[in-house]
């Protein structure tokens, strides 16, 4: 015979939770958290929503005018456009790189050390990362790492001219022509031509340059000298003639032009002398613009065109490690027998990756992508620090525009409207994430 329970049911006014704790006690313990939640989340959201319907002074009802400004103000529209670019590319690239790193590091002997290096930028604050990449993207190749590498690659295939500032001096036989210089008179065989230039410091002349000498005439050809004619004054040197202290323009290109067409060309020797064939008879001699091409200074990473991709690059540098760690954790839970079975069936490594690994990692990839999308919608620090003042308008995003409207331009109503708009953009992403988590719990 069963022994009757001695525990009496709780009175209706003193109900307990499933854990046996009184509801009143549970509420008492939750009260501090609820107060903080209300003060730090609910109240600011509610106040921003109300403030978004008032004018800049807060004493007049503006209706939906502040929200209309989001779609009519040029700076806000630029911010919305840039936010779309951020949401599309930053999470996608970060997740893709994280997936590649996670898969490849499984096959590398020093995979753990590699993961540590890739994840290390996550330990750096956005402020520090912004300062680092402001220097990385510096226009000067002697300071900016990106342009130092880019200029090195460029100069390997297309060397810059050694005479970017060279130009004719006084009493010169040359005149400007299409970025270069051309003789005012035609030349003929047997004639010796002088093509003096100025504007290049002696320490900037090519290493192979030698003392300029006067060319010797040749009856069947045209000869001449091109050199740095810098000596001036009585007893210092003769104008328009090579002096012992002057250097020839080693490698200077000379073209013979007739009726706009090049009929012959040559390059000056180390002492500046050159020789053209009889085909140049009756032509004008031209020093083409390629001789005076300015040194390549790299890419204007922080200019209006590339500033947004450049800032996104710094974000990817920081968050690719975060994506890699989460994906690597998911990859550790992938059943190895499935991968081996696919290989046994004759699948290549690319097929195993595309048709087995990626589908099994789909839930993890979704978590990473959604998390980064939410994070990207709030990006502010990197744009504010990396983009210089001259191109900050072109790199503008909603979070930065919110700050500028609220604190720099004195328009808190529009700033509140932007804040509410950002909240509305985040809600669908969060809703998708919550639904996905609930589906995972039911499995």
β-pair type (192-197, 284-287):
unpaired
The CA angle 389-392-393, to the nearest 5 degrees, is 120
Edge-to-edge strand ranges of the sheet holding 174-177: 174-177, 180-183, 284-287, 253-258, 261-267
pLDDT of residue 1: 46
Residues of the chain with pLDDT under 70: 1-21, 158-160, 231-237, 441, 443
The candidate with the shortest Cα–Cα distance to 403, out of 427, 386, 379, is: 379
Q: pTM for the whole thing?
A: 0.72
Residue 225: CB atoms within 10 A of its CB come to 25
DSSP 214: P
- Residue found by looking up tokens 């031209």 in the block: 286
pLDDT of residue 11: 55
C-beta of residue 381 within 8 angstroms of C-beta of residue 126: yes
**Residues 220-246 pLDDT 10s:** 899 999 998 876 655 566 787 888 888
- Cα distance between residue 166 and residue 268, in whole Å: 15
C-beta of residue 412 within 8 angstroms of C-beta of residue 58: yes
Q: What are phi and psi of 241, to 5 degrees?
A: -140, 140
- Cα distance between residue 372 and residue 370, in whole Å: 5
- Cα distance between residue 312 and residue 310, in whole Å: 5
pLDDT of residue 310: 95
How far does Cα 258 stand from its chain's mean position? 46
β-pair type (174-177, 180-183):
antiparallel
State the virtual CA torsion across 106, 111, 117, 120 in degrees, nearest 10. 60
């Amino acid at each position: 015979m069963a022994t009757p329970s001695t525990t009496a049911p709780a009175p209706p006014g003193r109900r307990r939770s499933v854990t046996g704790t009184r509801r009143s006690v549970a509420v008492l313990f939750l009260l501090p958290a609820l107060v903080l939640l209300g003060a730090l989340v609910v109240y600011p959201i509610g106040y921003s929503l109300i403030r978004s319907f008032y004018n800049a002074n807060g004493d007049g009802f503006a209706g939906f005018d502040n929200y209309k400004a989001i779609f009519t103000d040029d700076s806000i529209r630029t911010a919305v456009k840039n936010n779309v670019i951020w949401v599309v590319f930053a999470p996608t690239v970060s997740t893709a790189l994280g997936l590649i790193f996670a898969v490849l590091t499984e096959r590398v002997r020093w995979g753990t050390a590699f993961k540590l290096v890739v994840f290390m930028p996550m330990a750096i604050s956005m402020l520090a990362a912004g300062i680092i990449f402001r220097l990385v993207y510096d226009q000067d190749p002697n300071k900016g790492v990106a342009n130092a590498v880019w200029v090195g690659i460029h100069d390997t295939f297309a060397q810059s001219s050694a005479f970017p500032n060279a130009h004719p001096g006084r009493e010169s036989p040359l005149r400007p022509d299409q970025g270069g210089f051309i003789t005012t008179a035609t030349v003929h065989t047997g004639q010796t031509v002088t093509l003096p230039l100025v504007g290049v410091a002696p320490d900037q002349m090519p290493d192979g340059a030698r003392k300029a000498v006067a060319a010797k005439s040749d009856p069947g050809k045209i000869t001449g000298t091109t050199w740095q004619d810098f000596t001036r004054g009585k007893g210092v040197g003769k104008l328009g003639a090579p002096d012992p202290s002057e250097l020839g323009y080693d490698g200077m290109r000379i073209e013979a032009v007739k009726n706009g067409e090049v009929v012959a060309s040559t390059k000056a020797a180390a002492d500046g002398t050159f020789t053209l064939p009889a085909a140049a008879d009756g032509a004008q001699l031209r020093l083409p613009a390629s001789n005076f091409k300015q040194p390549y200074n790299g890419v204007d990473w922080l200019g209006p065109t590339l500033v947004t991709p450049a800032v996104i690059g710094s974000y990817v540098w920081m968050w690719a490690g975060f994506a890699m760690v989460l994906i690597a954790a998911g990859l550790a839970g992938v059943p190895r027998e499935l991968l081996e079975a696919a290989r046994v069936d004759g699948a290549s490594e690319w097929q195993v990756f595309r048709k087995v690994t990626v589908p099994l990692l789909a839930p993890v990839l979704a978590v990473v992508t959604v998390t980064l999308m939410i994070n990207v919608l709030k990006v502010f620090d990197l744009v504010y620090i990396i983009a210089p003042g001259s191109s900050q308008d072109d790199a503008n995003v909603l979070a930065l525009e919110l700050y500028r409207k609220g604190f720099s331009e004195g328009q808190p109503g529009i700033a509140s409207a932007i804040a509410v708009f950002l909240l509305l953009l985040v809600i669908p992403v969060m809703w998708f994430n919550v639904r996905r988590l609930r589906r995972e719990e039911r499995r």
